[in-house]
Chains A and B, each alone.
Chain A
Amino acid sequence: MANSTTEKTKAAAAEPISMMSVLAPAIGWLIPGAGHMIQKRWIRGGLLFVSIVTLFLLGLAMQGRIYHANGGDILDMLGFVGDVGSGALYIVTLAMDWGQGAIQFATADYGTKFIIVAGLLNFIAVADAYHIAIGKKQ
């Protein structure tokens, strides 16, 4: 079993890095679902796009808060890691100064979690796009 694992590792290491294996995760991070779409997985990409973007926008509309890189607190930094997974959505939100949060709303905290989870789900989608690009998944 150890031998087969070693062989697999060697085979993976020997595999050349293709253009798609770099492009798909990068595009997929920037625009949720786009990493699947450029590999002609239109329905999967569309569903991922709708799911992640809707979750992010709902979070914003629920007065959720956007975390910044220099939050100072370790939990804020973790929140930033989650948020930044949304790619362009996060960049645009930051540029437009949205997502300031509103503690007057009980549901604003749900919104903050929606935004973080949207980013984390996009990270999973990016990993999936990479696996498709390298042929590990159909």
Chain B
Amino acid sequence: MRITLPLGRNNDPVSGSQYSVLSHSRLGETRIVTITLNHFGAATVFALFASIVFGITHRDTTRDMVRYGLYCFVMFLGGVFVAGWAMWLLRR
């Protein structure tokens, strides 16, 4: 099994942002698996898992771990929104 380029209906590479899992398999060919997330989706997934690890590793008690994990998650997503609006303002 080898992860290779996913192909669209006309054998063109899939483009655009979408929440989808494409699985394409043919006899005698490699199985193709790809996930395409948009920027916000990728940032949310990143924030979720990074917050879990930060929470566990940076605090001692369970209560503090949960609180710090939530704090990190909010700060990550807050940073995304702030940076997004800042870029929107710079563009105008």
Binding site for B on A (CB under 8 A): 44, 47-48, 51-52, 54-55, 58, 60-63, 96-100, 102, 104-107, 110, 113-114, 117, 121, 124-125, 127-128, 137-138
Contacts and interface: CB of A to CB of B under 8 A. Distances in A.
Contacts of B39: 110
A62 B49 CA distance: 16
B56 A62 contact: no
Given A62-B34, A62-B37, A125-B57, A107 B50 contact: no
Q: How large is the interface on B (under 10, 10 to 19, 20 to 34, 35 or more residues)?
A: 20 to 34
A122 to B, nearest CB: 8
8 closest residue pairs by CB, A with B: A128-B57, A51-B49, A61-B35, A104-B13, A121-B53, A110-B42, A51-B52, A55-B49
Contact of B49 (A54, A63, A137, A138): A54
Given A44-B56, A98-B2, A127-B57, A105 B36 contact: yes
Contact of A62 (B5, B35, B50): B35
Nearest to A62: B35
Given A98-B3, A104-B15, A114-B45, 7 more contacts: A52-B49, A62-B36, A105-B14, A107-B36, A107-B37, A114-B42, A121-B49
A47 B60 CA distance: 15
A117 B53 CA distance: 11
Contacts of B37: 62, 107, 110
A96 to B, nearest CB: 7
A55 B36 contact: no
Interface of B: 1-3, 5, 13-15, 17, 21, 33-39, 42, 45-46, 49-50, 52-54, 56-57, 60-61
A54 B33 CA distance: 15
Contacts of A104: 5, 13, 15
Contacts of B52: 47-48, 51
A122 B61 CA distance: 20
A1 B2 CA distance: 58
Nearest to A98: B3
User: Most B CB atoms within 10 A — which of A60, A98, A99, A107?
Assistant: A107
